[in-house]
Structure 1
């Protein structure tokens, strides 16, 4: 039986969560409290496996409480259940030690699914956050690739991608053709390709041109 502590200062939310959790097999509500400060005393006195907490709490906000609680009780699983904007607070919650950030607008079935995932020791992300993280990872990848290229290499890459020949690039950048060929060879190596077609395709795929 997974023992759950609910932390929220809205009586209707507390009652609703209690009803949902107590109707879910293998879960038991062992307490419901209204402030972040109360969490510490409760988990010291009672057995708790999983905490469901709002961010906006009297006396101590949920994320600050989460950081402190995880230092003392690393095995505790935490699901943040909040009305605050997901795109702003989800990552902060996960970094602080939560296993999920669930918006209060979520469907009951998805909430129960998230609850079970967290209880099993997994991380739950909404579809919205999964896409956001994938987008962020893509941006980081592009950023890393750009950092590997010099300013001149980026210029040569863009001109090659626009269909310019070595001679035309040399004239436009006021360098000789041999230097253009050197930059092209460096680009092949850094972007891990062996021909011009693949070079341009790689640049377009990475949104570098």
Structure 2
């Protein structure tokens, strides 16, 4: 029996995931969490095999959360289930220690296969994401400006491009406005942009978030 805790801040999503896994044979939904703090508490108290993890929950940045989970529970495999279809998020998630990456739009069709493969020690990525990786191999090796950003800075960058204010970002990430302002300053410096309008143009030009309604 594969024990699978679920971590997502939307009750309906967790209900849907639980239904899919319970309908299939060989799975036990071993608890649920709705933010980063309850996720950490859950994995500390549950002997599980594969954690299904949303990247965009209240609290810690999703990539940072993956690293903490891997440090505390190195034997626990992590399947990222997210609305972020961009390659940059997938690359960062795998580097942080995830074993699979699945977008929510394809979850119902692929969730069981993904969890099964990851539980057996494999790595899972959807066909669409694999094609993105393959296309990226043809790009120049030199790092683009956005690739110099830390995981937290990249997350703030996405939110700024999506039209969120500094205050809104601070509230969602549970940090101070001053902290987000500092991140914004560093982002502009690293990407050599004079103001945030340049960030929006850059994101559009490089099609960084073209799979979302952020820009």
| Preserved CA contact (<8 Å) 2:102 2:126 | yes
Corresponding residue for residue 129 of structure 1: 129
- How many pairs align? 142
Quote the offset at 1:8 in angstroms.
Answer: 0.5
Corresponding residue for residue 51 of structure 1: 51
SS of equivalent residue, structure 2 residue 135: helix
Corresponding residue for residue 83 of structure 1: 83
Quote the offset at 1:130 in angstroms.
Answer: 1.4
Change (3 A) 1:107 1:65: closer
The higher relative CO (CA closer than 8 Å, separation ≥ 6) is in 2
Quote the offset at 1:6 in angstroms.
Answer: 0.3
SS of equivalent residue, structure 2 residue 3: strand
The CA distance in 2 between the partners of 1:11 and 1:58, in whole Å, is 14
- Gapped regions of structure 2 (runs ≥ 5): 143-215
Alignment of 1:27-66 (within 5 A): 27-66=27-66
SS of equivalent residue, structure 2 residue 105: coil
The CA distance in 2 between the partners of 1:139 and 1:43, in whole Å, is 38
Deviates more, 1:26-35 or 1:123-132: 123-132
Corresponding residue for residue 22 of structure 1: 22
SS of equivalent residue, structure 2 residue 29: strand
Q: Provide the aligned C-alpha RMSD in A.
A: 1.8
Q: Residues 19-38 of structure 1, C-alpha deviation per residue, up to 9 Å, x if partnerless?
A: 11111211100101101112
Quote the offset at 1:133 in angstroms.
Answer: 1.9
Corresponding residue for residue 204 of structure 1: none
| Preserved CA contact (<8 Å) 2:32 2:42 | no
SS of equivalent residue, structure 1 residue 9: coil
Quote the offset at 1:43 in angstroms.
Answer: 1.8
Deviates more, 1:67-76 or 1:106-115: 106-115
| Preserved CA contact (<8 Å) 2:35 2:59 | yes
The CA distance in 2 between the partners of 1:40 and 1:125, in whole Å, is 24
- Gapped regions of structure 1 (runs ≥ 5): 145-209
Alignment of 1:192-203 (within 5 A): none
Is 1:101 the equivalent of 2:105? no
The CA distance in 1 between the partners of 2:76 and 2:108, in whole Å, is 23
SS of equivalent residue, structure 2 residue 69: helix
TM-score normalized with structure 2 length: 0.61
The CA distance in 2 between the partners of 1:44 and 1:54, in whole Å, is 18
TM-score normalized with structure 1 length: 0.63
| Preserved CA contact (<8 Å) 2:9 2:35 | yes
| Preserved CA contact (<8 Å) 1:50 1:79 | yes
